[in-house]
Amino acid sequence: MNNHFNVIVIGAGPAGAAAAWRLVKNNLSVCVLEKESLPRGKPCGGGITGRAMRAMPCDMVQCAGKAFTSVSMNDMSAGLRFTVSRAKPVITTVLRPMFDHELVRQAMDAGAELRDKTLVTGLRYGNGCIEVLSGDQRFSASWVIGADGAFGKTSQWAGWKKRPRLAPAINAEIMTPDAIPLHLEQSPRFDFGVIDHGYAWFFPKQDGCSLGLVSLGKKGANLSGKLKTYIQTLGFGSAAKPVVSGAAIPIGPIPGGFVKKRIILTGDAAGLADPLTCEGISNALKSGTHAAEAIIEGKENQRVVEKAYLTMLNDSIISDLKASSILALIIYFHPRIRQFLFARHGQHLCEAVTDILAGNRSYSRELYSFSNLFRLLTNR
């Protein structure tokens, strides 16, 4: 069995699948190494934004889930509610294991090789390539793409000293449709004022729902207790049997850059989740695609590949992350300012955020300069 490839992708999430698909479409040999058996479980609310759908490298109609053209955003501490509707879906709710599996399957159909149940145990450099170790198995490639998530070890093996900043999150799946209060079945909702330095969400699905909380605060939050209270606040009764899982969302780019020694970090491994929404799938798809495009452009030239990848990230992701972090700081760490903004300009603010979720606007274009931010928040 041939274990040498042009590129090895570690991790079969959205970033890894997007990279693999783009690479094999350009006639490069690719092997995706995944430690779990697919489809695998994934702690996630399962809300795929329109922005993420636009970043798809292939047609995902077969795993489209339940599409919503309306979302609501609420400041529950102030009793304020805003609803925004658009012509096209803003959020599509899916079962995350099947969503990820479908992405990988399409990469395989295009020509990528998948080795699941293959735990990578180390990296080694030599003979002009990178050797990827998995027990007594050896794989080699000219390039390795690290797409193994916030807790993956690719970055550690490659020489990164620190991990991205993490935000703790908790998610509950309730797959008993009859237990869902009728008033919650209309659209996804985002609730502020439920937890310090974060927000809560509720996503209806085809056969149930998911709901959860995330906190950006440095101190540990009582997520389990807050989740129970949130479930009760939404009106769920004893018939609801939530299946709870925890997660950590990387909300700050990993210190030390994104490329070292022919290893490229993407998605959560690179810390590219949106600081405001804590949504990481859209930037995972973008960064995976950019990593592939950089390798296609630079081939064996490490400097060209690194420069191309960093340029693509800066143009499409990093500038947006900086702008998003400004708004996240205001919304999550200054509750009085948030309440004032929601009371005075809540509909306008929620319209703008919805357009960003839908992929119709970007943080960097609309929010990054202080003049634009001021204009947005004061509706001038």
Domain shared by 53 and 132, yes or no = yes
Angle at 12 between CA 3 and CA 7, to 5 degrees: 40
What CATH code is carried by the domain that includes residue 280?
3.50.50.60
Least Cα distance to 281 among 10, 12, 14 occurs for 14
- Beta-strand pair 263-265/91-93: unpaired
User: Considering the domain boundaries, does residue 364 fall inside one?
Assistant: yes
pLDDT attached to residue 369: 44
Shared-domain flag, residues 244 and 263: no
Same domain flag for 346 and 238: no
Length of the chain measured in residues: 380
Structure tokens at 267: 């998605």
59 and 176 housed in the same domain: no
242 shares a domain with 297: no
**And the tokens for 216?**
């950006």
Hunting for tokens 């009728």 — which residue is that?
182
pLDDT at res. 234: 95
Residue 76 lies in a domain: no
Phi, psi of 318 (to 5 degrees): -60, -45
In a domain, 349, yes or no: yes
Mark whether 173 and 245 lie in a shared domain: yes
- Relative to beta strand 122-126, strand 4-10 is unpaired
234 and 359 share one domain: no
Q: Are residues 174 and 240 in the same domain?
A: yes
The pLDDT value recorded for residue 370 is 45
Confirm whether 75 is domain-assigned. no
DSSP state of 274: -
Domain of 245, CATH number, reads 3.30.9.10
Assigned domain for 45 exists: yes
pLDDT at 61 (0 to 100): 53
Considering the domain architecture, whether residues 28 and 109 belong to the same structural domain is answered as: yes
Average confidence (pLDDT) per 10 residues, the chain, 380 residues: 90 96 97 93 88 81 78 93 95 91 93 95 90 94 96 94 93 90 87 95 92 87 92 91 94 94 96 96 97 96 96 94 91 90 89 92 69 56
Task: Judge if 140 and 267 occupy the same domain.
Answer: yes
- What range does the domain containing 367 cover? 334-378
Total number of domains constituting the chain:
3
Sorted by sequence, the CB contacts under 8 Å of residue 143 that are 6+ apart come out as 6, 7, 8, 130, 262, 263, 264, 295, 305
